[in-house]
Amino acid sequence: MTQAAEALDEKHNALAQDLLIRASHYLRPDELRAMQNAVRMAQFVFGDAVRRSGETFFEHSIAVAEIVLEYNLDPETLTAAVLHDVVQYADVTVAQVRENFGAGVAGLVDGVTMLSSLPEKTREEKQAENLRKLILATSSDVRVMLLRLSDRLHNMRTVHRLPPERQTAMARETMEIYAPIAGRLGMSKMRAELEDLAFKVPDPDAFESIEAKLSETRAGQQRRLDDIRQQLLVELRRHGIKVDNNAITSRQKHVYSLHEKMQRNKYQEADLWRIYDRLGIRVIVPSVPDCYQVLGVVHSLWKAVPDEFDDYISRPRPTGYRSLHTAVQYNPEDSRDIVEIQIRTPDMHEEAEYGIAAHWRYKEGAQRDVEFENKVAWLRQLLELGAELQDAEEFVDAMKTDVFADRVYVFTPARGYHRPAGGKHAYRFRVPHSHRDRPPLPGRAGQREDRQPGLQAPDRRQG
């Protein structure tokens, strides 16, 4: 064995050991043994094979498992994460996975395995067919999508190592398909990172500009948030509301969401600091009545910003998200000093952070949530749609329409962008005189003129 091979082997062993140590914190001994066997299989069948991103297949498998581990998902999902590429890229069959790890793990691995040989189809058709297969597999076991999202997240973390054309194709697909699906499944943390990574590829200057502005004042803003947090903690305890030091946390909005907000009419002439929920405080209290009591305390401490209160507890979002949102002016001398405060219970917080994955978090002996079927009802509808539409690209188009049902798209010759629908905002459209009286092309009314046929298929090795 060469010195380079020995170094790589040591690196692989260290990665595997770190993963197993973290998994041992909540897996039973028999579950941990299955994980160890999965790691050994992946390490053996992949060896030193390298992906186009420059890392080995084994490193990628461990990285995806690490993402799954962050969600404390069940043992089958964690084991499948380690093995998710062995059927497609190694000499392993689904039957062998089933024999060694059980039907549950084999079904998940099969579900995330993309179609390997469709020689008669174009790359766009292959991608549409793969996506169709993924949605159909997910409709019977949503963990397939959790694995696919984790796989895509790691691919986007390493996308900068790929050729520019592949970066663009993957970023587009991530923004159009995977990030919205993560949002639809309530996985806000996952969606935020996918959006930031996808946004950075086609528009690095805009990304860096916003990131630089945030970095300039990050330390000062954090001090302000800490002051607000401490003041609120004291006041809540004075009112007899049970909160500990970890019940109030602070956050700053991610880059892409700030970019989107800055495109809205009411922020067009304003700078970054005018966005009300750029800075946020989150309060977690034991019960729903406590949430409303905290709201009263917050409004007694600081001046509420008009039209910036939302009650998502009594009127949850379509994703099932529940929380109280309010924006307050915490500095009476400066109307720009605005902070958003979110108030929720622990169960609401888990749902908000993990979305549908919260129903698969490892809880020994626990039953699945009775509301689980409602959370994936839209996937059931897509399954029915898939049975009706035989053409894969039609199916993908229909899926995109469903996932983006809450958005209105506006496209210009220079760029395309979206705005939230729902009647909250009005928009002005300026149409050149030369286009005002032009009749629509036959059969193309309402279609995007700049749309490419089908999806840009990502490289199979980068997925």
- Convert 25-77 into a string of H (helix), E (strand) and C (coil): CCCCHHHHHHHHHHHHHHHHHHCCCECCCCCEHHHHHHHHHHHHHHCCECHHH
Do residues 342 and 218 share a domain?
yes
CA distance 400 to 343: 32
Q: Which residue has the tokens 């009411």?
A: 266
Do residues 342 and 241 share a domain?
yes
Do residues 219 and 326 share a domain?
yes
Whole-angstrom distance between the N-terminal and C-terminal Cα of the chain?
31
Domain final residue pick, 308, 335, 358: 358
- Look up residue 188 and give its amino acid: S
The helix (H) or strand (E) run that includes residue 240 is none
CA distance 198 to 172: 7
The β-bridge partners of 310 are 325
**pLDDT at 297 (0 to 100):** 96
Query: Do the domain assignments include residue 338?
Result: yes
Sign of the C-alpha dihedral computed for residues 236, 238, 239 and 244 taken in this order: positive
| pTM of the predicted model over 0.85 | no
**Is it the case that residue 68 has pLDDT exceeding 50?**
yes
Going by their DSSP bridges, the two strands 407-411 and 416-420 should be labelled as antiparallel
Domain final residue pick, 200, 226, 254: 200
**pLDDT at 387 (0 to 100):** 53
CA distance 344 to 55: 41
Express each pLDDT in 327-376 by its tens digit: 999 888 776 678 899 999 999 998 887 777 666 555 544 444 545 545 55
Q: Residue 409 to residues 43, 429, 439: CA-CA distances in angstroms?
A: 45, 12, 21
**Is it the case that residue 159 has pLDDT exceeding 90?**
yes
CA distance 294 to 277: 18
Query: Do the domain assignments include residue 428?
Result: no
Do residues 146 and 284 share a domain?
no
Query: Do the domain assignments include residue 31?
Result: yes
More confident residue, 344 or 382: 344
Do residues 322 and 182 share a domain?
no
CA distance 444 to 432: 20
Query: Do the domain assignments include residue 336?
Result: yes
Do residues 152 and 248 share a domain?
no
Nearest by Cα to 75 from 35, 110, 106, 111: 35
User: Do residues 328 and 299 touch, judged by C-beta distance below 8 A?
Assistant: yes
Dihedrals phi, psi of 425, to nearest 5 degrees: -135, 145
Do residues 214 and 194 share a domain?
no
Domain final residue pick, 200, 216, 237: 200
Express each pLDDT in 162-221 by its tens digit: 999 999 999 998 998 889 888 878 788 899 999 999 999 999 998 998 888 777 666 677
Do residues 31 and 154 share a domain?
yes
Do residues 189 and 208 share a domain?
no
User: Do residues 290 and 242 touch, judged by C-beta distance below 8 A?
Assistant: yes
User: Do residues 18 and 26 touch, judged by C-beta distance below 8 A?
Assistant: no
Dihedrals phi, psi of 340, to nearest 5 degrees: -90, 140
Nearest by Cα to 108 from 145, 133, 162, 67: 145
In terms of phi and psi (left: phi > 0; alpha: psi -120 to 50; beta: otherwise), the region of 51 is beta
Retrieve residue 238's tokens: 């004075």
Portion of the chain with pLDDT greater than 70, in percent: 67
Do residues 160 and 252 share a domain?
no
More confident residue, 399 or 31: 31
Domain count, the chain: 2
Look up the domain containing 310 and give its range. Answer: 204-358
Nearest by Cα to 235 from 163, 341, 392: 341
**CATH number of the domain encompassing residue 303:** 3.30.460.10
**pLDDT at 274 (0 to 100):** 56
**For residues 394-407, average pLDDT:** 56
- What DSSP string runs through 119-136? TTS-HHHHHHHHHHHHHH
**CATH number of the domain encompassing residue 48:** 1.10.3210.10
Judging by beta carbons within 10 Å of its beta carbon (0-12, 13-18, 19+), is residue 258 exposed, middle or buried?
Answer: buried
**To 10 degrees, what angle do helices 94-101 and 29-46 make?**
150
Query: Do the domain assignments include residue 52?
Result: yes
**Is it the case that residue 431 has pLDDT exceeding 60?**
no
Going by their DSSP bridges, the two strands 303-304 and 338-344 should be labelled as unpaired
Do residues 30 and 116 share a domain?
yes
**Is it the case that residue 119 has pLDDT exceeding 70?**
no
| Mean pLDDT score of the chain | 77
Query: Do the domain assignments include residue 376?
Result: no
Query: Do the domain assignments include residue 385?
Result: no
Do residues 222 and 347 share a domain?
yes
Query: Do the domain assignments include residue 80?
Result: yes
pLDDT band, residue 251 (cuts 50/70/90): confident
